[in-house]
Amino acid sequence: MTAGEVAQLRPGTRVAVSFGPRPMVGILITLVEQTDVPADKIKPANAILDSAPVVPDTALNFYSWAADYYHHSLGDVLQNALPSWLRQVDRRDIDSCHGWQLTSLGQTSHAQELLGRASKQKALLHYLQDQLGAISEQKLLQHQHKRTAIKALQEKGLIEACRLPLDSGQLPTITESLLLNNEQKEALNTIQSHNGCTLLAGITGSGKTEVYLQAIEEVIRNGQQALVLIPEIGLTPQTTQRFEARFGPCIRVLNSACSDGDRLDTWLAARDGRAAIVIGTRSAIFIPMANLGLIIIDEEHDASFKQQDGFRYSARDLAVVRGQIQQANVVLGSATPSFESLANVDNGRYKMAKLTQRAGNAVPPILQAIDLRHQSLNNGFSNEGIAAIQDSLSRGQQALVFINRRGYAPVLMCHDCGWHAHCHHCDARMTVHMQPPHMHCHHCDARNGLPKRCPSCHSGQMVLIGQGTERSEEALQQLFPATEVLRIDRDTTSRKDAMRDIIERINDGQPRILVGTQMLAKGHHFPKLGVVLILDADGGLFSADFRGPEKMAQLLIQVAGRAGREEQRGNVLIQTHHPDHPQLQLLLQQGYFQFAQAQLSLRQNMELPPYRAMAMIRADSNSFEATEQFLQEILVIGEKIAGGEIQLLGPLPSPMPKRAGKYRAQLVMQAAHKGVLKAFLASFIKAIEPVRGTAQLHWSLDVDPIDMF
């Protein structure tokens, strides 16, 4: 590397570093003259891969913030944040849209003299001196200039790399928007009239998306960019089409279906301000944007915004931070806002805008409980439930049956001796599937054949207890032989395009019965739906997780929201053995927000999040003792470091202590404030780094965990 090259290096530039035989990509973070790192821990960079920094400073700042907050290395964050091509050494000159311009030395009249007899370099310099401003590298190459000449001029300090201004070919076109109703106008005004975060709490069908579209419109009219995050499962063609219908084909979409090349292309276009609107799932929160004006998180309560392994970040929480760093407004939208966000409205950090009416002429559904006690059920269906489906079908409408369990039955039992089919690797039962017949553990993916006789007493009296989507589908098909029943769960939608095909069939409007899991609760519009039947609401009422009631309420309200999208009022029926349960009553009679307030005061009294900052260390190993011992050991260390402000709890067994052959337990850490917890975690993580358990012990830190598993 020449001294000139080193002098030109700036943070965000990629370099190649040899690790063993393989060169790997490193990102230059900072330049120092001296370091405390021992010499044998330092590796030389073999090559510089980019002529200009690839990762902009604002992005690096944001990534550092995330690394600090979640106590992960910056390397982990970059691994999640950068498109895979940027992490490959052989991808050079990825920056197809960068350009070259003269330095002040290059602009002087005697610059030519510095080049002696190098005719190719002279020609290039001449060419650039004849142009106004910067030229794309592509164009230089098209005009027969050579990369070697470009490099030579750069080394002589005559030209420098630069980014090119906005590519006008991708400017959005804005088609006419809808006339907002009063609530929508007020919501838009709240978003636009303050710098910060707005919680847009609007019931399903209230026109949140229209508010997003008009907020985006203002931002792009000002020459800024908008980033829209959507839950994994919600990123359907339906969603993107609505954005495209308004803004034209300029919309960039980032999801798991994108090729690596697409991803990089979008990443660069966003970074350089050429992509006006980017829509993506969780990891799109890391995409750099030069002129970010607005971030929208749709369905902000959705669990898919939280990464649940490795670098466990929350894209929603990071969005709020990113908005502050880049002075962009943030909108969190949901019909069922997370309790965290509602608490942030209460404490004044966010503003709230509410949409309580359905847009257009649509009317919200009525929710009612069906008392299952003392009823004889037909394969899990109450008479009232069956009658309601019948009624909806005879009016030419569709019916939706929701059951949050896939497979045929959750329990296989021997009638003679009481034997249960358990998974050998988990503290869990195997679920029976019939299409095709097998047993499947939904926690570790183990599969077994279906035993015809009891493995314990050889009786042939095997019984199936409980029901999942497959069994409900079978029962519905028997009850309504003339009507098509469509099952929607992970098993029927795993094939590529399967979901799209199913949605298309639903949307042709023929009377049909849909039966499925929470996949149905998200994002889809079913205009012909007359009734929603929730087969079993009781699981959520008695959950071990303190977030159980919150999750139950969100799921019920989201599923209910599928009903009655058009003028017809929809019915939502909830089957339960506990119709008088106070939580269920509160939700059905007072609605989600009253329910949330009651739950929030409970959380406050019990000193639970969002009123306490929480983090968790999860550990697992091949033996119960090793996991316990490790957690005991680090607990002692933690207690030494923790002042009175930190509360350490553990080791606590996981709700499922054995999973996929691993024994799991956890340590919970709490403090009154996030800052206090963060400071503690920083020293704690350092202190336990040297503690190595035995028997392949793994541990991970989860800051702001959203479930206890």
Residue 305 CA to residue 307 CA, distance in Å, equals 6
Residue 686 CA to residue 239 CA, distance in Å, equals 44
602 binds ligand ADP (CB under 6 A): no
Q: What is the DSSP letter of 405?
A: -
The token pair that represents 679 in the structure block:
């400071």
State how far Cα 631 lies from the chain centre. 30
Contacts for 624 with CB less than 8 Å, ≥ 6 apart? 657, 663
CB of residue 499 to ligand ADP, shortest distance in Å:
19
Q: Which does 666 bind (CB under 5 to 8 A by kind): ligand ADP, Zn ion, none?
A: none
User: Long-range pairs for 437-445 at CB < 8 Å and ≥24 separation?
Assistant: 439/412, 440/407, 442/406, 442/407, 443/656, 443/659, 443/660, 444/659, 444/660, 444/661
206 binds ligand ADP (CB under 6 A): yes
One of 12, 83, 172, 202 touching ligand ADP (CB under 6 A): 202
- Indicate the residue among 316 and 603 with the shorter CB distance to ligand ADP: 316
Residue 323 CA to residue 544 CA, distance in Å, equals 35
End-to-end CA distance of the chain: 50
Q: Which does 207 bind (CB under 5 to 8 A by kind): Zn ion, ligand ADP, none?
A: ligand ADP
The window from 198-206, 255-263, 423-431, 685-693 that contacts ligand ADP (CB under 6 A) reads 198-206
One of 23, 53, 83, 207 touching ligand ADP (CB under 6 A): 207
404 binds ligand ADP (CB under 6 A): no
441 binds Zn ion (CB under 5 A): yes
423 binds Zn ion (CB under 5 A): yes
- Indicate the residue among 330 and 619 with the shorter CB distance to ligand ADP: 330
Q: Which helix (H) or strand (E) holds 484?
A: strand 484-488
- Indicate the residue among 221 and 453 with the shorter CB distance to Zn ion: 453
The window from 158-166, 174-182, 312-320, 645-653 that contacts ligand ADP (CB under 6 A) reads 174-182
Residue 400 near residue 562, CB atoms below 8 Å: yes
Residue 429 CA to residue 499 CA, distance in Å, equals 28
The token pair that represents 508 in the structure block:
């042709």
Residue 271 CA to residue 325 CA, distance in Å, equals 15
- Indicate the residue among 29 and 180 with the shorter CB distance to ligand ADP: 180
Question: In DSSP terms, which residues pair with 229 in a beta bridge?
Answer: 280, 297
Q: Which does 454 bind (CB under 5 to 8 A by kind): ligand ADP, Zn ion, none?
A: Zn ion
User: Long-range pairs for 264-270 at CB < 8 Å and ≥24 separation?
Assistant: 264/83, 264/85, 264/86, 264/94, 267/82, 267/83, 267/86, 268/94, 268/95, 268/96, 268/97, 269/97, 269/167, 269/170, 270/225, 270/227
One of 154, 204, 281, 621 touching ligand ADP (CB under 6 A): 204
**Nearest of 347, 429, 361 to residue 569 by alpha carbon:** 361
334 binds ligand ADP (CB under 6 A): no
Find tokens 């005697």 and name the residue. Answer: 110
Q: Which does 156 bind (CB under 5 to 8 A by kind): Zn ion, ligand ADP, none?
A: none
SS3 state of residue 64? helix
- Indicate the residue among 201 and 421 with the shorter CB distance to Zn ion: 421
CB of residue 535 to Zn ion, shortest distance in Å:
25
The window from 203-211, 265-273, 546-554, 645-653 that contacts ligand ADP (CB under 6 A) reads 203-211
Residue 286 near residue 311, CB atoms below 8 Å: no
- Indicate the residue among 181 and 324 with the shorter CB distance to ligand ADP: 181
Q: Which helix (H) or strand (E) holds 684?
A: helix 674-688
181 binds ligand ADP (CB under 6 A): yes
Q: Which does 444 bind (CB under 5 to 8 A by kind): Zn ion, ligand ADP, none?
A: Zn ion
Interface pattern 641-670 for Zn ion (x via CB under 5 A): ------------------------------
Q: Which does 13 bind (CB under 5 to 8 A by kind): Zn ion, ligand ADP, none?
A: none
**From edge to edge, which strands make up the β-sheet containing 613-621?**
647-659, 662-671, 613-621, 698-703
184 binds ligand ADP (CB under 6 A): yes
The window from 74-82, 180-188, 581-589, 648-656 that contacts ligand ADP (CB under 6 A) reads 180-188
Binding to Zn ion (CB under 5 A) within 454-473 occurs at 454, 456-457, 459
521 binds ligand ADP (CB under 6 A): no
- Indicate the residue among 360 and 539 with the shorter CB distance to ligand ADP: 360
Number of residues near Zn ion (by CB under 5 A): 15
231 binds ligand ADP (CB under 6 A): no
217 binds ligand ADP (CB under 6 A): no
Helix, strand, coil shares of the chain, percent, nearest 5, are 40, 25, 40
Number of residues near ligand ADP (by CB under 6 A): 15
Residue 230 CA to residue 332 CA, distance in Å, equals 11
210 binds ligand ADP (CB under 6 A): yes
- Indicate the residue among 83 and 207 with the shorter CB distance to ligand ADP: 207
**Nearest of 633, 639, 509 to residue 568 by alpha carbon:** 509
Binding to ligand ADP (CB under 6 A) within 350-369 occurs at 359-360
Contacts for 471 with CB less than 8 Å, ≥ 6 apart? 379, 380, 408, 409, 434, 464
Reply yes or no: is the peptide bond before residue 56 cis, omega within 30 of 0: no
Residue 208 CA to residue 212 CA, distance in Å, equals 6
CB of residue 207 to ligand ADP, shortest distance in Å:
3
Binding residues vs Zn ion (CB under 5 A): 414, 416-417, 419, 423, 425-426, 441, 443-444, 446, 454, 456-457, 459
Binding residues vs ligand ADP (CB under 6 A): 178-181, 184, 202, 204-210, 359-360
